[in-house]
Structures are given as structure tokens and as C-alpha cells.
Amino acid sequence: MTKKDVDWGEIGKKFTRKELPQSEVEFSGEIPADVVTLYTDEALAHIASELELPGFRKGHVSADIALKKVGEIAVLEESVEMLMRDFYPALVTDQQVDAVGRPDIRIVKLVPNEPVGLTVRTAVYPLVTVPSDWKKIADKVPLEPAQPATDEEVDKTIEDLRKSRATPPTAPAIEGEAAMPAEPVLPELNDAFAKSLGAFESVEQLKAQIKKGIGEEKERAAKDSRRAKIIEALLDKTQVAVPKIFVESELDKIMAQMQEDIARFGMDYEDYLKHVGKTEEVVRQDFYEQGAKRAKLQLVLNKLAADEKVEADSTAVEAEMKHAIEHFPDANLELLKIHIETVLRNELVLKMLEGEIK
């Protein structure tokens, strides 16, 4: 028998299937000894090529010497790892499993010339059940009117601008005494100051623009608040077992963003952990619920996009790609495109949720 003669589908049918929490499944069964043997020579050759022994150049260790060095069990383990590359795809296909991520493969029985016992655990893309009336959720979440900008808010913004343009203090030193710190000198609030900030001819124009900007920011905040409430209502009514691998992926993103933010403030990440008195594992656990919610939301958005046949606009994708490449020239283009398409598609679905797109 050769590898081409192996009926992986038939072997896979003999594996028992067990449903696990968080959208995982576990398969248990055995691989016949004669099938494992088909991979032994290849496994031993690979081990020999990687061995570094005194008196031999790497890659020039003979198979018999390699076998004596590592032992028969190590060769069997390598054989199983190699055969899984052929068996695993057939297993999930035969079992009709939409597997995601890398499987967790464990050898539970390994004896020379006997069937190899295995358990294979993998995450599967979950069934997402959204409420049939999801398009009506937004009807029950009104947009709270944004309050107009106040004079106090405008004055505070201007004061902050003046402080950002302040000149350093210049207190004269008194002979024989330490120089006393002086207050920074703020620029005078006049038309010249307004012109120095942009296309403003007067202080009144500057105040008007600031008032408009604050008002627009409040309107955006009100829309963001409504969107958050709509999302929360949708997630509460959606049934899905979120795979752990999806949560971990979101946690990776959260942790990466946190580290970037810490670096932006000029602090070392390890120093930050010492400052808050936590390990990275504890910080990661602190964000677990947030990661789980983000993972669930992405699954829901994927479901709605598929049901409604929502796709990102190709022109918009190309424009975002061009912009991103200018800032990240070494980025993986394939992964970058997938990310941009996902972000744009998500936004379209969210606008459908809000009732902006029918």
C-alpha cells in the first residue's frame, strides 16, 4: 500500500465526534499501524536532516544513526505529525466541519506496530442566530438631541489654545538667590492670534468655528451613543457560541493597541505593568469580556453581511489601500486588503442597523 491508496475518509468515519463548549468539537479514534508506517521513512529522513552530531555536518547524518539517537517513539511522533497533514483535511471534510484555526492534536496511544490513538480538537465557525426583526431594533433607540456648545466650552477651548502657544517664562535672576519660576506668558487674545491659528480674520470667526466644531463633536457623540445602544440590543438578542480562538484574536488586537498607546506616551510597556502592579496575563484577563463582545459583534456583522449580500465598495477599498500603503509600506498586502474590506463592510452593515441604509 502507498499513501495514494489510503482512504482517509473511511478512517475519519470511524472517529467519534464530541461537541464541546465555545463552538469546539473533539474527534477521537485510531490510525492503523500500516498507515503510520507509510510515513516512517520520510519522518526519519526529516529528523536526520535536522540533527547536529559531533563528526557530522548538518544534513549528513545517516538514517540508522539518527534512529539510534532519537529512538523509535520520536520517529513515530514525527510520522503522526506528517500524516495529519493528509488526514486532518479529510477528517473535517468527511465530518462536515467548518473548522477555523489550528487544531489541537494529541497522541493518546503510541506503541510501535500498533494503531495510534488520537484526539483532535478544533474550533468550528459557529451558527449565528440573529433576531428576525433586527432591522427594527433601531426604531426603539431614538437619537438623543445634542446640546449646543456653550460659551464656557468655547472659552475653555480658546484658553487651552492660548496655553499651547504660551512663551516660556523669563523671570530675572536675583544675584545670590535661586531663580524663581515665572508664569508662562499667554498670547493676547486678539485678531492677530486668531489669524495665527488658521484661516480666521478675527476672534469672532475663531469663536464661531470652535462653537461649530464642539457642536459637531457632540452630534457625533450622540450618534455613537445610539449606535452602541443598538449594538447592545442586537447582541442581547443574538444566539452564538463564540469560539475561544476568536476571542483570543480580539484580545491580541486590544493588547497591541494598548502597547502602542503606552509607547505613544513615552512609557515602556514593562514599566507600565510594574506601575499598575499586574502581569500581562492579568491585564489580558481584564480585557476578556471586551474581547468576547468584540468577537461576538464581528460574527454578527459577518452573518448580516452574508445574508444581505453586503460587500465593500471596490473603489473605496483601493483608495484606502493606497493610503495605508503610504504609511505602512511593508504591510502584507493580502492581509491589509482583507482588513480594509472588513472595516468598510462592517460600517455598511452598521448603517443598515441604524436605518441609514435600507
- Cβ contacts of residue 11 below 8 Å, gap of 6+? 29, 31, 32, 35, 87, 90
What integer pLDDT is reported at residue 173 of this predicted model? 58
The predicted model gives 166-171 an average pLDDT of 74
In the chain, where does DSSP find H-type helix? 8-13, 33-37, 40-50, 63-70, 72-94, 151-164, 191-196, 203-237, 244-264, 269-276, 280-286, 288-307, 314-327, 333-354
What integer pLDDT is reported at residue 174 of this predicted model? 58
Q: Where are the domains of the chain?
A: 3-124, 142-169+185-237
The predicted model gives 262-282 an average pLDDT of 93
Q: Is the pLDDT of residue 128 over 70?
A: yes
Q: Is the pLDDT of residue 180 over 70?
A: no
- Cβ proximity of 105 and 77 under 8 Å: no
Q: Is the pLDDT of residue 176 over 60?
A: no
CATH hierarchy code of domain 3-124? 3.30.70.1050
Q: Specify the residue for cell string 468584540.
A: 294
The predicted model gives 264-279 an average pLDDT of 93
What integer pLDDT is reported at residue 178 of this predicted model? 56
pLDDT digits (tens, 9 = 90+) for 209-253: 999 999 999 999 999 999 999 999 999 999 999 999 999 999 999
Pick from 63-72, 233-242, 249-258: least confident: 63-72
What integer pLDDT is reported at residue 171 of this predicted model? 59
What integer pLDDT is reported at residue 61 of this predicted model? 82
Element (H, E) at 189: none
What integer pLDDT is reported at residue 34 of this predicted model? 95
What integer pLDDT is reported at residue 63 of this predicted model? 86
pLDDT digits (tens, 9 = 90+) for 311-322: 999 999 999 999
pLDDT digits (tens, 9 = 90+) for 185-200: 899 999 999 999 988 9
Nearest Cα residue to 122 out of 107, 101, 136 = 101
The predicted model gives 149-177 an average pLDDT of 83
What value does the mean pLDDT of the chain take? Answer: 92
- Cβ contacts of residue 7 below 8 Å, gap of 6+? none
Q: Is the pLDDT of residue 184 over 90?
A: no
